[in-house]
Chain A
């Protein structure tokens, strides 16, 4: 059954079972492999994308939920906040294995778009759904603060 999607600003029509999780449509039908599979049950956040600007665990959202709405993935995220987050991530060398970091960056971007000056508690709330087994949390927090500073500069 065809589903109409808007992904990273492009309209796409995909013939897929509408119950298929958005994650697999992005990765395997659209080739956008920056979004990762980690748990399949919305526990780890590796699959985080934006749906109309809100963070969404794409592994557990049927693709039909995204029909007619704006999906943004790590490949397409380009807001001022996103650029600041990616820059801070690189400057602080946050990544280790890197597998969770697309999701971390999407969650951090969504946070800064809403709250350009987040407190540590805001960061805890916004980022607690994203697991990093390398435990880069110390730098994730520092990078969000750095991106925040950059945004207000």
Chain B
């Protein structure tokens, strides 16, 4: 979802809004006006002289009935008489720790006791809970959760704190300035003392401040303090009580699996469900737009029923689709100019002539997200309404498309957003495939019971929505002094945005997610000429953790090393010379290099490689220490430096860097979906392999101290890893790896 992050233009937001049938939402600041507008659904708070809302009204604010008011001054928190603070999280938790982050923003400004803070997930509402970077859309992506919420959630906490202090001042007849608030307790030098819970009702009758005063950075007690806010979800995820979509329990809940088309573009000809219905527990065999659904009282029965189902498919349209043939086609296309995405800047005088040229073609496979929890959604049609339970990462899309599928207005559709067992982009899709498919099953059984649509692992891996295949053809010239004389960069691969509601974000036929990381780049490369081919395929494309940067960073950062070698320069020095104007990029490079001992002699058979990349407004450099023996690669250690502005939760940042490194290394080693005869070849973890514990390197993470506004950490740790490893392999005398995964370049991971 990167491009939306940069979609600051009103025009583009309006286009997106129009495509969703929505009106543009309020601006980004939590001003009084916005709060009033945002709290419209609980008019009581605003409209009746600051009376406390009754508990039912307060509960309506939140998703799933945690502690209720009475102090609920805005859509983001409630302070209960039970002394609990409930933070309502507008973003989806898929492991990246944003629930903890959002809660800590509120808790710090509120001066709440962290052990008394609870969280719940917001209902679908693009007016109150929109991602401020996305415009009128609620959604999580582009590593933007903390970045867009930083002022909003702090302001929410500060407003509530001011009302609590004002209530105490009134009750104790002392000036507000004399009241101290700390760890959910209000106190005064006179000895007066009250918990937030005791003061909550009185506080709810106070006037909400127009502009709540925010703390200075020096006043923070939780933000930026290491280990001050441990994850709020650790305990439930360690004792089996965390509820994912697969765990939802409802009376009479049925489970459905779908016989999906076996190949991309296959059409259903006919089916015979007689044998499937003989399987004990199978209740229905129904056709849906997605395929043939087998509905049963349990998952195993549904799977057995599907096995017994006879389906005839017409695969004639898809039989020719073959990833090897496609790669050959892309390579041929890369010999012809495409649509321009970068033009050389007008220079004074002729550039120095190239004395050396490096010509390289890079090849990247399809990648599946393979989140641990295979896609799923519970849908229940009842009493003229639809309810869904899922890891709704893009609630605004899921809500609209679910409503359309069942023919109900938006206000008759209620989404319950649950934590998900990973996503890596898979649950953020503008087709809402898993939601819509579940709704279609619920509809096909006439709303007789709630139904969970469950993808098997094979369904999940074979469903498409992959990181597309890409080919890069790059030609770079070096002048006699080792400077870059010319840079021709051509990219071939599917556009993620074309053909869907995001197409409005494209300009002049260029999908920014296809080229991000090549253009823009923090390196000073005014000589770059870039062009792009965006072929369309029957396989749906999707963003995969760090989106375009998954391939662009690899090309840019391995090319930097090739150029440095050709110019006889140190890879670090070569990069720094091109980063005069990007101090943050240079800063992470210097920090990672210093901490890794860059340039110091290594053990025999071990070398370091480095890479740096900017993505989602964060900068990450990594030094990989790699051994190579008889074609066997082992990454021993990775030193990572990250500059993500103010480090809201340092331990979560470290965790994200660690996870990004392992995720990226697994993809580099093994990640590839091949397509033969229109079918995905790899369908489960036996063939679509993932990194395992014995392959995980030692990792050190260093965070650059910063006062800049916070930026993303969920994705930016991914892009530099593979090029850093590849650069080390080359320095060990191994091949310049230009085709991934590594096995495609004759190397084996150990």
Contact = CB atoms under 8 A, between A and B. Distances in A.
Interface of A: 17, 20-21, 24, 27-29, 31-41, 43-44, 46, 73-75, 86, 89-90, 93-102, 105, 123-124, 127-128, 130-141
B238 A137 contact: no
Contacts of A37: 246, 299, 374, 454
Contacts of B691: 135, 137
B292 to A, nearest CB: 20
A27 B298 CA distance: 10
A84 B88 CA distance: 32
B446 to A, nearest CB: 23
**Which of B94, B238, B423, B699 has most chain A Cβ within 10 Å?**
B238
B372 A97 contact: yes
Contacts of A128: 692-694
A40 B655 contact: no
Given A37-B299, A41-B684, A135-B659, A100 B372 contact: yes
Contacts of A137: 662, 691-693, 696
Given A93-B231, A97-B421, 15 more contacts: A28-B299, A28-B300, A29-B298, A33-B246, A36-B421, A44-B690, A90-B230, A90-B234, A95-B233, A98-B237, A99-B373, A101-B237, A131-B372, A133-B690, A138-B696
B370 interface: yes
A44 B247 contact: no
B220 interface: no
Nearest to A123: B693
Contact of A98 (B233, B374, B660, B690): B233
B680 to A, nearest CB: 15
Contacts of A17: 280
Contacts of B715: none
A41 B420 CA distance: 21
Given A135-B659, A137-B662, A97 B693 contact: no
A71 to B, nearest CB: 14
A24 B423 CA distance: 23
B298 A134 contact: no
Given A37-B246, A43-B685, A95-B231, A135 B372 contact: no
Contacts of B699: 138
B658 interface: yes
B96 interface: yes
A128 B238 CA distance: 19
B252 interface: no
A128 B234 CA distance: 22
B422 A97 contact: yes
B651 A24 contact: no
A132 B665 CA distance: 13
Contacts of A32: 240
Nearest to B100: A93
B373 A97 contact: yes
Interface string B82-124: 0000000000001111000000000000000000000000000
Contact of B686 (A41, A75, A130, A140): A41
Contact of B424 (A38, A74, A130, A133): A133
A133 B663 contact: yes
A135 B658 contact: yes
Contacts of B685: 38-39, 41, 43-44, 131
Nearest to B660: A135
Given A33-B240, A93-B651, A98 B300 contact: no
Nearest to A137: B696
A34 B240 contact: yes
B238 A135 contact: no
A136 to B, nearest CB: 6
A20 B659 CA distance: 35
A32 B241 CA distance: 9
Contacts of A138: 658, 662, 696, 698-699
B648 to A, nearest CB: 15
Interface residues of B, number: 62
B347 interface: no
A128 B685 CA distance: 13
B235 interface: yes
A28 B252 CA distance: 12
A125 B424 CA distance: 28
Interface string B518-538: 000000000000000000000
B242 interface: yes
B371 interface: yes
A103 B236 CA distance: 14
A36 B245 CA distance: 11
A43 B686 CA distance: 6
7 contacts: A28-B299, A31-B249, A38-B685, A74-B240, A96-B659, A100-B372, A134-B663
A24 B246 CA distance: 12
A24 B234 contact: no
Nearest to A37: B246
Top 8 A-B pairs, shortest CB-CB distance:
A34-B240, A135-B662, A99-B421, A98-B237, A97-B95, A96-B95, A74-B240, A137-B696
B532 to A, nearest CB: 30
A64 to B, nearest CB: 14
Contacts of B694: 124, 128
B244 interface: yes
Interface string B207-245: 000000000000000000000001101111111111110
Given A90-B234, A97-B420, A132 B372 contact: yes
B731 interface: no
A70 B158 CA distance: 53
**Which of B373, B651, B690, B699 has most chain A Cβ within 10 Å?**
B373
B422 A99 contact: yes
Interface in B383-415: none
Contact of A89 (B238, B422, B652): B238
B457 interface: yes
Contacts of A134: 95, 372, 422, 659, 662-663
A33 B372 CA distance: 15
A34 B236 CA distance: 10
A17 B282 CA distance: 14
A29 B454 CA distance: 17
Contacts of B96: 96
Nearest to A105: B238
A40 B684 CA distance: 9
Given A97-B419, A124-B694, A131-B692, A36 B684 contact: no
Contacts of A38: 372-374, 457, 685
A7 to B, nearest CB: 13
B666 interface: yes
Contacts of A124: 693-694
B658 A36 contact: no
A24 B655 CA distance: 32
B456 interface: yes
B298 to A, nearest CB: 5
B504 interface: no
Contacts of B241: 34
Given A35-B240, A135-B659, A138-B699, A98 B95 contact: yes
Interface string B664-681: 011000000000000000
